[in-house]
């Protein structure tokens, strides 16, 4: 076991744990953001640099600070390590820079993007970014690419986190035909000679994408996510665990996804049959509402309408009372 101090809070974790996962054991808002790291995906992390932290003391044996900021998602802890995250102005400054860099080639098309409300970059920019950009040059654009009949790739929105590449590599073993082409800012996610990803678990690339680059063709443009209601459900599936979240609008299942934890990470991959084909309530055993963090925008539309007391209405001017009767914006109680 190794004892580390993270933003002044002591935590003891097993040897080999990364700094990020040690911080996640403390939880709350001090946990560094992660755009490319994804626990179930081996080899992920270290690329987006969103989770950079300062190591003020390397270990009890060698308490010297590390010369550069380190990626907390790939750096293992050492006993006696002292880490600064939200308490270090340099870290916060760098994070602003990372947001600015990531937004260079990511369009701010949140109003039309299907990922709005579930977008890690949106959250990252909201918490760490600034409202302006200094970038004046032309931004790169791409045509949309159909990756088979079920998935669409908007390369314009891609931030090259490599999560989908690792997913395809590790889930669709031997079948992977998509990866990163080109280098530098000309790098792009592509399927060689526009082949499709043809694997029973290919749909998981949609779930791991932190932005709206890979979208579900059976769901696109059907609803904003905050107008849907997530419900946990399961079915007896021969290919996967069958544990999913159904996203309802009224009585219709608009979308099926794998279940994610508080950091947006999928623990159990689901198959394409569960994801794309089973869209009837009768296909599933319903467990109950899925937990959604109160701070998430997905919770936004789930408030009960407040009830206006009639005695309050009686005190209003007559013209207002008439308006309320004709166009009731709120429920009227007794």
Residues interacting with another protein, by CB under 8 A? 45-50, 52, 68-69, 71, 74-76, 94, 97-98, 100-102, 104-105, 134-135, 137, 159-160, 162, 180, 182-187
Instruction: Name the minimum Å distance from CB 103 to another protein.
Output: 9
Instruction: Name the minimum Å distance from CB 270 to another protein.
Output: 29
Comparing CB distances to another protein, the nearer of 45 and 203 is 45
Comparing CB distances to another protein, the nearer of 124 and 269 is 124
CA distances for 52 relative to 10, 94, 128, 333, angstroms: 19, 8, 13, 53
Instruction: Name the minimum Å distance from CB 7 to another protein.
Output: 20
d(CA 16, CA 327): 62
Instruction: Name the minimum Å distance from CB 32 to another protein.
Output: 14
Would you list the DSSP string of 310-326? HHHHHTS-HHHHHHHHH
Comparing CB distances to another protein, the nearer of 211 and 244 is 211
Instruction: Name the minimum Å distance from CB 289 to another protein.
Output: 36
Instruction: Name the minimum Å distance from CB 59 to another protein.
Output: 12
Instruction: Name the minimum Å distance from CB 244 to another protein.
Output: 32
- Contact call for residues 148 and 196 (beta carbons, < 8 A): yes
CA distances for 149 relative to 163, 182, 200, 219, 333, angstroms: 21, 25, 13, 12, 50
Comparing CB distances to another protein, the nearer of 161 and 254 is 161
Instruction: Name the minimum Å distance from CB 42 to another protein.
Output: 13
Comparing CB distances to another protein, the nearer of 61 and 134 is 134
| Token couple for 266 | 């999928």
What phi-psi label fits residue 157: left (phi over 0), alpha (psi between -120 and 50 degrees) or beta? alpha
Residue 30's contacts (CB-CB under 8 Å, 6 or more residues apart) are 6, 7, 9, 23, 85, 86
Helix (H, G, I), strand (E, B) or coil at 77: coil
Comparing CB distances to another protein, the nearer of 71 and 258 is 71
Comparing CB distances to another protein, the nearer of 8 and 65 is 65
Query: Which DSSP state fits 191?
Result: E
Comparing CB distances to another protein, the nearer of 36 and 206 is 36
d(CA 246, CA 252): 10
d(CA 259, CA 263): 11
d(CA 194, CA 142): 14
């Amino acid at each position: 076991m190794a004892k580390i101090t993270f933003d002044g809070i002591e935590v003891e974790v097993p040897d080999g744990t990364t700094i990020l996962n040690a911080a996640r054991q403390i939880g709350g808002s001090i946990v560094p953001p992660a755009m490319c790291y994804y626990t179930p995906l081996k080899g992920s992390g270290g690329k987006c640099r969103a989770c950079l932290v300062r190591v003020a003391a390397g270990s009890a044996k060698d308490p010297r600070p590390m010369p550069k900021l380190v990626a907390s998602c790939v750096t293992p802890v050492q006993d006696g390590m002292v880490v600064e995250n939200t308490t270090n102005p340099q870290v916060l400054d760098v994070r602003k820079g990372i947001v600015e860099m990531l937004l260079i080639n990511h369009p701010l098309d949140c109003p039309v993007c299907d990922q709005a409300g579930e977008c890690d970059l949106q959250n990252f920019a909201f918490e760490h970014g600034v409202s302006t950009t200094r970038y004046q040059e032309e931004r790169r654009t791409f045509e949309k690419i159909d990756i088979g009949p079920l998935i669409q790739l908007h390369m314009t929105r891609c931030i090259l986190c490599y999560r989908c590449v690792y997913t395809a590599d590790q889930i669709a073993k031997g079948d992977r035909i998509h990866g990163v082409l080109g280098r530098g800012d000309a790098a792009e996610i592509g399927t060689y000679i526009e082949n499709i990803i043809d694997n029973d678990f290919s749909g998981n690339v949609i779930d791991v994408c932190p932005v709206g680059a890979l979208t579900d063709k059976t769901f696109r443009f059907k609803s904003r996510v905050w107008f849907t209601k997530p419900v946990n459900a399961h079915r007896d599936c021969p290919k996967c665990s069958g544990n999913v979240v159904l996203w309802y609008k009224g009585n219709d299942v608009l979308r099926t996804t794998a279940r994610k934890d508080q950091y947006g990470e999928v623990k159990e991959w689901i198959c394409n049959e569960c994801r794309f084909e089973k869209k009837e309530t009768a296909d599933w055993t319903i467990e109950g509402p899925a937990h959604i963090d109160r701070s998430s925008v997905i919770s936004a539309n789930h408030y009960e309408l407040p009830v206006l007391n009639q005695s309050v209405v009686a005190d209003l001017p007559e013209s207002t009372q008439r308006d309320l009767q004709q166009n009731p914006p709120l429920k009227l109680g007794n």
